[in-house]
Structure 1
Amino acid sequence: MKTDFVHICGSDELPESLRGGVVAIGNFDGVHRGHRAVLDRALDEAKRLGAPALVLTFEPHPRALFRPDMPLFRLTAPAMKARLVAASGFDAIVEQRFDRDFAGLSAQEFVREILVGRLGIRHAVTGFDFHFGKARGGGPAFLMEAGAQHGFGVTLVDAFRDEGAEIVSSSRIRELLSKGEVAEAAGLLGYRFAVEGEVIGGKKLGRTLGYPTANMVLGEDIHLAHGIYAVRFRRADGSLHDGVASFGRRPTVDDDGAPVLETFLFDFSGDLYGETCRVSFFAFLRGEEKFDGLDALVVQMKRDEEEARAVMAAARPMGKIDTVMSFSSGQVAK
């Protein structure tokens, strides 16, 4: 990951050194293999031109503004997205605030105020179906005409298909994760799905059973299937620990509780409270169950631990991004 990567939020000013860059434009939720077809094209163009490589994305996700009644399962929170973009080799990510004022900009105003005025764009790279501006008034043809008028190039990238000739999309990955199919989702993401959160105090029941856990409460929009997973846990100092995690409502001990991610770290002892850590999901072991008492629960937990240890011992990186996210040590970027 580049040490000089720049994360521009909201109205923060873009450094002069990053103006005149090649800009990949899109929401890029998940930064999956389909998105990387766009991102890789932008990186290639930036190298050809000797220009900075930037990503322009939008926060919050536009659906949060237009469909607030339907919370979207975000594959990557803003900080996670920035880390993935940095690991891909970009110089900066620009998070354009998506509010009513911005949504009201016409396509012409978006080009003039954001692309030309704010970014001083030299070349735009987008998906073939990218639309922008009020009422989605701007499309690929409009962008190419605007580029010719304002002096920047435009590259449109076709939809990326997987080995089965199916389009790789964020919605497809969300559906897989909602079923617990984390290995299949990883094949489309190009890395293991991960979440980040602060480790909080719990009821400490796991400690009395010989399985102390690091607990995180994930957002209500995380629609990951409830169950038991083989995982890798990254602490704030960058150290990695394999483990087994339970995500759900703990039906044996707490039927009415809110969903919690509880991770038992193998061969680890220490205080994690207050740390912001990352959990990467490698395999789904089983669904959530209610056991007839704590003794039966502990017996199953031992089986889960054995299976998770075997999964993690055989795990290998899927590529550069997966290596950075789940295999290489190093402090978690802020």
Structure 2
Amino acid sequence: MEIIKIHHPYDPSEIYPEDIVLILGFFDGVHRGHKTVIEAGVKLAKEKGLKAALMTFNRHPAFVYRKFDPDYHYYLTPLKRKEALLEQTGIDILYEVDFTSSFGTLDPQSFVDQYIVDWHAKAVVAGFDYTYGKSNQANMNTLDQYAKGRFEIHKIQEQLASNEKISSTRIRQNIEQGQIDEANELLGYIYETTGFVIHGEARGRTLGYPTANVLSDPDVYMPRIGVYAVKMCVNEEWFDGMASIGYNPTFGYRKDISVEVNLFDFSQEIYGENVRIKWVKYLRDEENYDSKEALIAQLVKDEEDSRAILSKVKINQI
């Protein structure tokens, strides 16, 4: 997959010079609904003997179109993660457009002329709810009037799960509510966050459960407060464990939320290491225990539950 980064206005020499099938969308999460759109575009490109190109943006359009919205400040898939997932879809070219005010305020006709026709698109594939032009002026139902017969239009209908639309918003809601199983089902893979290991208070060692304190990527959407069965990647190797997101109420509330991961059968020093965490299953809420002994008893049960859950999980390296 070739990645081409575009800043408006672009130099025509940056654009792939031959005909393409162009797939359009922001694709945060690259979830099952997105994959249906992308698969349709890749299949069409193969049928036509053309390259499959996908256009996405380096940041969500909400930053340009409206005031700060917390739902769009945090991503299911930051750009590097999105690139890794998209590379598995079979597309040939990934166009990453800087979503700036100059790009975001293009009128619909200019967008179509400069970012579809001038990119040599012979067909466009997008979801039914794709919009373009300043403040979402135009959509897939109006694309034909701007296309003027210069390319085919393939609109992919909404994809459903349990009679509801598969969407990034729905997945965020699942994650926020601790419904990580449902989120993973809609994504089609295990939800992942990244960060690096920092020094914590080392309290877990006194309990017999030493933890890696992870400072998470500030742009990624974090699961809700609670305890989870997880897998964590350290130096390209995956380990089973359990993680706590919260304030450690038994020992007095912290100012900031912490992410602490206890890895099973693990004794390495990993301060400063970049890590990936796959959130497999939500176990329970964060609780305030009357004693250290009560907390340890719960941690023993959490470990037993996590080991049983994780023994059945086959890890996908992507």
TM-superposed CA distance for 1:98, in Å, is: 1.3
Partner of 1:8: 4
Aligned residues: CA RMSD? 2.3
Q: Distance in 2 between matches of 1:303 and 1:7?
A: 46
1:192-235 deviation digits (Å, cap 9, x = unpaired): 11111122222222233332222223337635211110111122
More strand by share: 2
1:251 matched to 2:249? The reply is yes
Gap change, CA 1:234 and 1:44, over 3 Å in 2: same
Partner of 1:157: 156
Q: Secondary structure at the match of 1:196?
A: strand
Q: Distance in 2 between matches of 1:225 and 1:53?
A: 37
TM-superposed CA distance for 1:10, in Å, is: 4.5
Q: Which of the numbers 311, 314, 328 marks the counterpart of 2:309?
A: 311
Moved over 4 A (4+): 12-19
Provide the aligned length of Structure 1 versus Structure 2. 312
Q: Distance in 2 between matches of 1:69 and 1:269?
A: 42
Partner of 1:25: 24
Q: Distance in 2 between matches of 1:93 and 1:263?
A: 34
Partner of 2:117: 116
Q: Secondary structure at the match of 2:189?
A: coil
TM-superposed CA distance for 1:148, in Å, is: 4.2
With the length of structure 2 as denominator, give the TM-score of the two structures. 0.89
Q: Which runs of 5+ in 1 are unaligned?
A: 318-322, 326-334
TM-superposed CA distance for 1:191, in Å, is: 0.9
1:56-114 deviation digits (Å, cap 9, x = unpaired): 11221112233443212421111111111112222232221112111111111112222
Contact 1:227 1:247 (8 Å CA) reproduced: yes
Q: Distance in 2 between matches of 1:275 and 1:7?
A: 27
Q: Percent identity?
A: 34
Residues 1-334 of structure 1 mapped to structure 2, 5 A cutoff = 5-11=1-7, 19-72=18-71, 73-117=74-118, 119-149=119-149, 151-162=150-161, 164-218=162-216, 219=218, 222-235=221-234, 237-316=235-314, 323-325=316-318
Q: Distance in 2 between matches of 1:252 and 1:239?
A: 32
Contact 1:87 1:324 (8 Å CA) reproduced: no
With the length of structure 1 as denominator, give the TM-score of the two structures. 0.85
TM-superposed CA distance for 1:254, in Å, is: 4.3
Q: Distance in 1 between matches of 2:248 and 2:285?
A: 11
Q: Distance in 1 between matches of 2:94 and 2:219?
A: 26
Q: Secondary structure at the match of 1:252?
A: helix
Gap change, CA 1:233 and 1:56, over 3 Å in 2: same
Q: Distance in 2 between matches of 1:147 and 1:242?
A: 52
Q: Distance in 2 between matches of 1:224 and 1:64?
A: 22
Contact 2:193 2:222 (8 Å CA) reproduced: no
Bigger shift: residues 85-94 or 172-181: 85-94
